[in-house]
C-alpha cells in the first residue's frame, strides 16, 4: 500500500488533461477500477488476461474521449497527478456508430463479449436518462496515496463547473455499482434516480442538476 501523502486542497490545481498524461491517467484509473464489481463482470475477472483487457479498455476509452473533445480534468500538485474525472456528453458516449474507431479497437483488445457488455450498459443507462441533455461521469479516481483528503470532492465540483460552462446540459449523471462510491456521490449532492442491474451486478444511477 502506498504511503499516504498529505496535500492541502488549496494547493491542488485542476487542469484540462494534456495528451502526454494519458498513460499516467490510464494507470491511475486501472488502479481505481480493477476491483470494481461491474468491471470484473464486463471484462471477465475469472480470465487470465483480465487485467490486460481492462487496461486496454480504459486506454481506448480515454483516447476516444480525447478525440471527441470530451472533458478530462486532472487534479495536480506540482507535477504529481492526484486524481482525474472524465465526462462524456451522452450523445457522444453511446453507440458504436458514433465511435467507430473505439468500437474496432475494443473488439481487437477487449474482445466481442466485453465490448457487447459495455454497449449493453451504455444503452441501459441512456434509456434511463430519457434523452435528457447531460454529461455522464465515465471515470473518476484519486491515487491511493492522496485519498481521504477532499480531492474527490474537488473533482466532482470541477465536473459540475465544467458542465455549467460548456452549457447545453441539464444534469450531471454517474453510475456506480459500489455502495461506498454511492455514499460519496450523495455527499457531493447527487441523488439516486434509479436502481439498476447491469449484467446481474446491482448499481445505482445518480444525477445532479446543472443550474
Read off the pLDDT of residues 106-139 as tens digits, 9 standing for 90 and up.
666 666 677 777 777 778 888 788 767 889 999 9
Q: Are 133 and 207 in contact (CB under 8 A)?
A: no
Distance (Å, whole) CA 107 – CA 200: 22
Please state, rounded to an integer, the average pLDDT across all residues of the chain: 85
Paired residues of 201 in beta bridges: 198
pLDDT higher at 91 or 16: 16
Question: Residues with Cβ < 8 Å from 188, sequence gap 6 or more?
Answer: 152, 153, 156, 157, 208
Tell me the H-state helices in the chain. 22-33, 37-42, 50-67, 90-93, 100-109, 112-129, 151-166, 179-187
The model's confidence at residue 2, banded by pLDDT at 50, 70 and 90, is confident
Q: Domain limits of the chain? A: 9-209
Q: Is the pTM of this model over 0.85?
A: yes
pLDDT digits (tens, 9 = 90+) for 139-190: 999 999 999 999 999 999 999 999 999 888 889 999 998 889 999 999 999 9
- Which CATH topology does 9-209 take? Aminopeptidase (3.40.630)
Chain centroid, CA 190 distance in Å: 15
Question: The C-alpha cell of 8 is what?
Answer: 492541502
Chain centroid, CA 132 distance in Å: 19
Amino acid at each position: 500500500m502506498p504511503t499516504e501523502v498529505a496535500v492541502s486542497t488549496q494547493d491542488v490545481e485542476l487542469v484540462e488533461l494534456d495528451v502526454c498524461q494519458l498513460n499516467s491517467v490510464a494507470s491511475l484509473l486501472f488502479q481505481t477500477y480493477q476491483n470494481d464489481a461491474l468491471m470484473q463482470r464486463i471484462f471477465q475477472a475469472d480470465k487470465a488476461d483480465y487485467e490486460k483487457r481492462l487496461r486496454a479498455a480504459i486506454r481506448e476509452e480515454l483516447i476516444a474521449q480525447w478525440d471527441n473533445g470530451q472533458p478530462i480534468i486532472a487534479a495536480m500538485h506540482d507535477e504529481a497527478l492526484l486524481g482525474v474525472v472524465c465526462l462524456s456528453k451522452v450523445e457522444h458516449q453511446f453507440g458504436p456508430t458514433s465511435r467507430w474507431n473505439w468500437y474496432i479497437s475494443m473488439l481487437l483488445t477487449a474482445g466481442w463479449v466485453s465490448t457487447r457488455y459495455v454497449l449493453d450498459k451504455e444503452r441501459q443507462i441512456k434509456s434511463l436518462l430519457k434523452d435528457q441533455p447531460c454529461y455522464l461521469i465515465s471515470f473518476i479516481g484519486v491515487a491511493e496515496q492522496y485519498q481521504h483528503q477532499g480531492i474527490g470532492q474537488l473533482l466532482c465540483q470541477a465536473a459540475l463547473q465544467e458542465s455549467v460552462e460548456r452549457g447545453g446540459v441539464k444534469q450531471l449523471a454517474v453510475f456506480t455499482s459500489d455502495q461506498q462510491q454511492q455514499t460519496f456521490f450523495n455527499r457531493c449532492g447527487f441523488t439516486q434516480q434509479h436502481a439498476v442491474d447491469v449484467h446481474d451486478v446491482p448499481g445505482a444511477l445518480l444525477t445532479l442538476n446543472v443550474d
